[in-house]
Amino acid sequence: MNRTLTCIICPRGCTLTVTGEKGALTVTGNSCPKGEQYAVDECTHPVRTVTSVVRVYNREDTMVSVKTSSPIPKEHIFDVMNAIHAARVRAPIAAGTVILTDVYGADVVATKSVD
Ligand code: SF4
């Protein structure tokens, strides 16, 4: 493997180079250990936090912003997005309310309140 990545852990955006094979990867270009871990994770089991919106059915033209409570495997992002887009919630909603439970190991929670 010889892969170049941009670290997305902080705004510095270090350019990371990953060489070697799974189980023995070498990372260069990172300015801190978080970048090395990010690069290894990205090359072995990439995950992402999903953010989106859910329709509030009892408020006209209102959506509530949501995100997954933890990162989910990257290959399941579209499945999670489909579940989020199919969901409907009733206001009032408090920030932190669980909208969907156990979607590929994470909950989908509201990130703002709707009165
Ligand atoms: S390697 Fe460290 S300093 Fe560089 S972008 Fe990643 S987290 Fe930030």
pLDDT of residue 22: 80
Residues 35, 38: Cα–Cα separation, whole Å: 5
State whether 24 and 71 are in the same domain: no
Domain total in the chain: 2
Same-domain status, 59 and 40: no
Determine if ligand 1 sits within 6 Å of the CB of residue 15.
Answer: no
- 115 is a domain residue: no
Do 40 and 55 belong together in one domain? no
Asked whether residue 12 is assigned to any structural domain, the reply reads: yes
Contacts of 61 (CB under 8 A, 6+ apart): none
Do 91 and 61 lie in a common domain? yes
- Please give the model's pTM, rounded to 2 decimal places: 0.79
CA of 35 to the centre of ligand 1 (A): 5
92 pLDDT higher than 90: yes
- Which ligand 1 atom lies nearest to the CA of residue 12? 5
Claim to verify: residue 63 and residue 94 sit in the same structural domain: yes
Q: Supply the pLDDT for residue 86.
A: 97
36 and 78 within one domain: no
Structural domain that includes position 14? 2-44
State whether 34 and 67 are in the same domain: no
